[in-house]
Amino acid sequence: MRNLIAPLVLGLAGTAAAAPHPFNVMDLVMLDRVGDQVLSPDERTVAVQLRQTDYEANKGRTSIWTVPMAGGKPTRLTDAAISASSPSWSVDGKSVYFLASRDDVSQLWRVDAAGGEEQLVGGFALDIGNYKLSPDGKAVAFSVELFVDCAGDAAPIACTKQRLDAMEADKASGMLYTEGFVRHWDSWMDGRRSQLMIAALDEDGTLGEPRLLSKGINGDIPSKPFGDASEYAFSPDGSTIYFSVRNLSAGEPWSTNFDIYAVPSDGSAEPKNLTASNPAWDAYPLPSRDGKTLYYLAMARPGMESDRFAIKAMHLDTGETREVAGDWDRSAGPLKESVDGKTLYTTTDDNGQHPLFAISVANGKVQRIVSGGQVSGFDVGAKSLLVSRNDLRRPADLYRSDLRGGGLRQISQFNAARMKEIRTGEYEFFTFTGAEGATVQGYVVKPVGFRSGRSYPVAFIIHGGPENAMGNDFHYRWNPQTYAGQGFAVVTINFHGSTGYGQAFTDSIAQDWGGKPLEDLKLGWAAALKKYPFLDGERACALGASYGGYMINWIAGNWNEPWKCLVSHDGVFDTRAMGYETEELWFTEWENGGTVYDNPDAYEKFNPVNFVKNWKVPMLIVQGDKDFRIPTVQGLAAFNAAQRRGIPSELLVFQDENHWVLKPHNSVQWHNTVNAWLQRWTVSDKAE
C-alpha cells in the first residue's frame, strides 16, 4: 500500500511574503483560536483562552490571556509551556483561576490578574474535568471521573485511583460489560462516571477535602462527550447546586431523557429531581439572580436530540413552570441573565447566521442584537456585552457593545498580522424553491483571485448532522476558504433537516434521508448554476462528512451524473448495519422511526448499500479509526464496494483520529489529499 502522506511544500502561515497569498491549509492550522472568554467583575478586562498551534509537537497549546475591554495589547497570564484552559475570575477580580496539567493530571490553578507565577489550588489524584466557583468565592464545584461503586466510599477519589492502578497492573486486559454504553464517541467505557464534587477554599487558597454531591446518580455530570460546566450552576446564595444528567432507567444508548436536579452544596441531602415529569431533554440550568426562578432549556419529544430547546422558567417555591418566548421558532443555546434580571441572552442558528439574541423575561419579546456571522461565545455585564464573533472570512476575535448590541467594537486582534498576508474568497447567500415548494438557502464562495468572465471548478460541500447547517462561520475542519484558496468555487445547500429555519424544517429529514434533502441538493445545484455563470458544472466534485458522507454514498448510486469525483468522510454506507453498530442508538432509531427489527423497511428505503450497482464516479473515502459514531467498517465497506466495481478509488485512514480530524499534521494531510483528489478529476482542456 502506498504511503498516503502528502509532501508538505507550503510555508507556515504568518511568515513574511512578497504579497498576500490565497488561504491554504497551513493558514487554517496555524491561526490562533479564541476560546472561553469571561468579563472581570469591574468589566474592564477580559480573561480569554487562546489556542496556538505547536506544529512541531503536532498539537494545540492553550493559554490564558487578558485583554482590556477598551481595546489594546493583550497580556499572556500563563506560561507558554503549560496548557491552560477554562478561565474564571475571582470574586474580587484580583486573580484568574484556570485548569492545567501537573504530572499529567488536570488540576485547578490561580494566577494574579496583574501577572506572576501560577499557584496550584487543587492537587487531587484524578483529573478535574471542569469547575465553577461559588458566588462568594469560598468553594469550588468540579467534576471528576469516579467508579460508580467508589462513589459511596468515604474517599471516592482515592478508591478510584487505587482501582485504576490495579487495572493497569493486571496482565489480563478484558472488560466485561453488562450494559451500554460499551464505547462512546472515541473511547471505550471503563466503568467510570463524571461525578460532581465540591471543596472549600481554605485560608491559604487551596482546596480542602472534597465532598461528593451527586450521590446515587449513575450518570455523567456533565454529559459526555461534549458536556461542560454550563450543565451545572450555583444558586445566588451558594446553598444549592443545580445540574442536569441523563436518566438511565430507559437505557443509556437509546435515551435522551436528561433531568435537572437540585442538591444542597454542603452535601447534606441527596439530589432531588426537579423535571421528572418531562421524559425528554432538560438541560443548562440558570438560577435567576434573585434566587426565585430557575431558567433552563427543555425539549418536548423523547428520543430526539435535535428537538427545539424551549426556554423554561420554574418558580422555585411552587414548582410551577412556564415557557419564555413560546412563539419563537428557534432552538435556544445556553442562557445568561442580565444584571437587572429583566433579560435573557442566548445564541442560536438563524437563517445561515448564528446571532446573539436578547429575550424579555416579562413578555418573551425576542430581539436580535448581534447579527451577521457566528457569535461563538459571550458574557454579560452590568453595562456592556462581551462577544466572540467570526464569519466566513475572519476567525474569531473579541468585541464589546452596549446591552442592546449597538456599536459593536473589536477589542482583540489575535490574527491580524496573519490575516494581512492572506487572501480569501467573497461569499454570497442565495435562496431557491426547494422540495415541496419550500424556500431553501445556500451560499456560494468565489475562488480567491476571481475574475469575471472566467469559469471555475466547483467543490459542492454537503454538511453533516444532519440537523446542522453550513453557516456564516469560520470552521476549522470544513472551511470553504481552503477550497477557494485552491482555485475552486464552493457551493453548499442547507437542505431540509438543516437548523435555523424553524423546527418543522429541521424535523422534515426524519425517515427521509434520501428524499427531500436530495431534492434540495439537486434544485440548489441547478439554481446556483443558473445564478452564477462562473460555476463550471462540468468540473465539479461533491464532498461531505458524517451525514454528508452518507449523502455522498447515496448520490453515488442515485445522482452521480454531475460529478467528476466524490469525497466521503466518515459516511454511513449501510444504514441497517449502522442501526446496530453506532453507540448512540437513539439517533438511528429516531431518524428511522424505530429499531431495525421493528421498522426494517425504513432502514432499507434510503440505504446506499442497495445502489452500489449504479456507482461509477471516482471516490475518495476517509475514515477515522477511533470514530465510534460511524465505525470504521462503514468506510471499509464503501471502499471495498468501489474497488470491487472497478471504480477509481482511494482510502485514507487515520488510526489516531475520531469523527473529526484534529491533529495539525493530520489536518494538513487530509486537506492535501482531498485537494489533490479534486484537482486530479477537475483538470480539463477548459481549465484556464
Residue numbers annotated as active site: 546, 627, 659
C-alpha pair distances (Å), 341 with each of 126, 223, 361, 521, 603: 38, 28, 8, 45, 48
- Tracing cell 465505525 back to the chain, one arrives at 631
- The answer to whether 122 and 199 are in contact (CB under 8 A) is yes
In angstroms, the CA 375 to CA 131 distance is 23
Which residue from 41, 221, 201, 226 is spatially nearest to 146, judged by alpha carbons?
221
8 Å CB contact between 663 and 656: yes
At 132, give phi and psi (nearest 5°): -145, 140
Nearest to 425 by CA among 444, 441, 405, 411: 444
Q: What is the DSSP letter of 173?
A: -
Q: What angle do CA 263, 265, 267 make, to 5 degrees?
A: 75
Single-letter residue type at 639 = F
Helical (H) or strand (E) element with 673: helix 664-682
Question: What letter represents residue 112's amino acid?
Answer: D
Q: Measured in whole angstroms, how far is the alpha carbon of residue 323 from the centre of its chain?
A: 26
222 prior amide bond cis, ω within 30: yes
Burial of 201 (0-12, 13-18, 19+ CB in 10 A): buried
The cell 421498522 sits on which residue?
599
Which residues face 212 on adjacent strands?
197
- Please give the biggest Cα pair distance in the chain: 77
Between CA 348 and CA 444 the distance in angstroms is 22
d(CA 450, CA 426): 9
Q: And the C-alpha cell for 359?
A: 429575550
Question: C-alpha grid cell for residue 301?
Answer: 419529544
Q: Which residues contact 507 (CB under 8 A, 6 or more apart)?
A: none
In angstroms, how far is the first alpha carbon of the chain from the final one?
34
Query: What span, in angstroms and rounded, lies between the C-alpha atoms of 65 and 69?
Result: 13
Q: 466: which 3 cell numbers? A: 444532519
Q: Any idea what the Cα angle at residue 554 is, between residues 511 and 440, rounded to 5°?
A: 65
Question: For 129, which DSSP code?
Answer: -
What are residue 296's phi and psi, to 5 degrees? -165, 175
Written as nine digits, the cell of 51 is 489556542
Distance CA 80, CA 77 (A): 9
